[in-house]
Amino acid sequence: MSAATAGQGAVLSGRRVVLGVGGSIAAYKAASLARLLVGVGAQVRVVLTGAAARFVGPALFAGLTGEPVATDLFEPRTIDHIALARWADAGLVAPATADLLARAALGLADDYLTTWLLAFPGPVAFAPAMNHRMWEQPAVRRAVATLRADGRHLIGPVYGPLGAPGEGEGHGRLAEPEAIVAALASLLAPRAPTRFAGRRVVVTAGPTREPLDAVRFLSNRSSGRMGFALAEALRDRGAAVTVVRGPVALADPPRVRVLGVETALEMREAVRAEATGAAAVFAAAAVSDWRARAVAPGKWKRGGAAERTIELVANPDILAELGRDPQGTVLVGFAAEAGGDLAEARRKLDAKGLHLIVHNDVLHPDAGFEVETNRVTILHRDGAVAEVGPLHKRAVAEAIVDAAERWLPE
């Protein structure tokens, strides 16, 4: 047994998990998921939707778990959904189809699984799986945002080969069963008394936008997911969290204070004000390095011109400014690089006076911008190095917060 599996077993052993399986071609992976959960000591009961039963049968899961499988709310021999809600410690829906996400977000209860979800008050994680075009639909994004705001957790989807012939690769693939089990273990892991409890922390998230004229701007692909995951992890450890975020398409994380900004200069002003007296600053935002020297008051007209010259000036380095006068604040930086060389991250760690820096290679399809997962290397100022992932960004956030906690004063 690997150290990771042993750690998951310590968390999941004896836990009672309801595994809901949606009607996706990825449903076959739910069998491996059930086997892994049982293998680390969890008690698993499976609920199949009607569509899922067309891909995989109840007998398969009954054989893997040793427990009866629920498929029909009105089947006389099926355990009552209220009784199953009392029995469970956690819920895991994998694969979660677009239809399941929408019905769960709306609170519909038209089959056994959605009825059970409404009856169960404990933690639930959804592992989506669908075509990448479906995953990108605004209706699906709204459903995901609603579930997050309601306190549900999302695991993936990840980038990889898609199920439909000829579709190639994209974001929408079900996370691998091992990664789902690891994320569930992270979700259910008991939180030891944390030194962040009661302390004020600042998290930056998302991109900034630097205007060129009335309609155009410079920006980048940051989605804000990593920063929001950090905010939620810190909130759940008892910290008083302020998020300073640029323009993002995500719903703000619940139960944290959020300040919205647009430009790097606006973010600088907000962060400097909030960092005074803060225990830690997690600078996960992708702040634009440059801004236009002059912003046109209206809209540029092409006017037949083949070229246009834009003069740029450097934006301030917000984290480096904090590092020159840290005032006892733990400073955590992020280095998104196009490659795996850690030299630039180490340079930034030293030059900015940080306690630790999180390096990630944005060329990996399962890391960086606009994806639900990440793989990072955490570098400490004392030379310690830790590699994390690929995992869901919430699990990566927990590892980063653990790393930062060791630098907090007693």
**Mean pLDDT of the 144-168 span:** 83
pLDDT band at 257 (very low <50, low <70, confident <90, very high): very high
Per residue in 190-204, is it b (16+ CB within 10 Å) or e — as a string? eeeebbbeebbbbbb
Q: Judge whether residue 241 has pLDDT over 70.
A: yes
For the chain, give the percent of residues with pLDDT over 70.
Answer: 97
- Cα separation, 214 vs 195, whole angstroms: 46
In whole angstroms, give the CA distance from residue 98 to residue 134.
7
Tally Cβ neighbours within 10 Å of residue 306.
Answer: 5
- Least confident among 56-60, 148-152, 196-200, 245-249: 148-152
* pLDDT of amino acid 6: 59
- 373-405 per-position pLDDT tens digit: 788 999 999 999 999 977 778 888 989 999 999
**What confidence category does residue 245 fall into, taking pLDDT thresholds of 50, 70 and 90?**
very high
Q: Predicted confidence band at 326 (pLDDT cuts at 50, 70, 90)?
A: confident
Q: What does pTM read for this prediction?
A: 0.67
Return the pLDDT at 5.
Answer: 59
Tell me the percentage of the chain whose pLDDT exceeds 90: 68
Q: Which of 9-13, 148-152, 314-318 has the lowest mean pLDDT?
A: 9-13
Residue carrying structure tokens 């059970």: 116
Q: 161 - beta bridge partners?
A: 169
Catalytic, 131? Answer no
Residues of the chain with CATH 3.40.50.10300: 200-293+307-405
What is the tens place of the pLDDT at every residue in 180-222? 998 898 888 776 667 899 999 999 999 999 999 999 999 998 9
DSSP readout, 174-189? PPPHHHHHHHHHHHHS
Residue 127: closest CA among 99, 92, 102: 92
User: Mean pLDDT across the chain, nearest whole number?
Assistant: 91
Selected catalytic residue, list 220, 315, 360, 374: 220
* 3-class secondary structure, 122: coil
Pinpoint the residues of the chain covered by CATH 3.40.50.1950: 3-188
In the predicted structure, residue 4 carries a pLDDT above the cut 60: no
- Write the pLDDT tens digit of every residue in 9-38: 678 999 999 999 999 999 999 999 999 999
Which numeric CATH code is attached to 3-188?
3.40.50.1950
d(CA 379, CA 343): 11
CATH number for the domain formed by residue range(s) 200-293+307-405: 3.40.50.10300
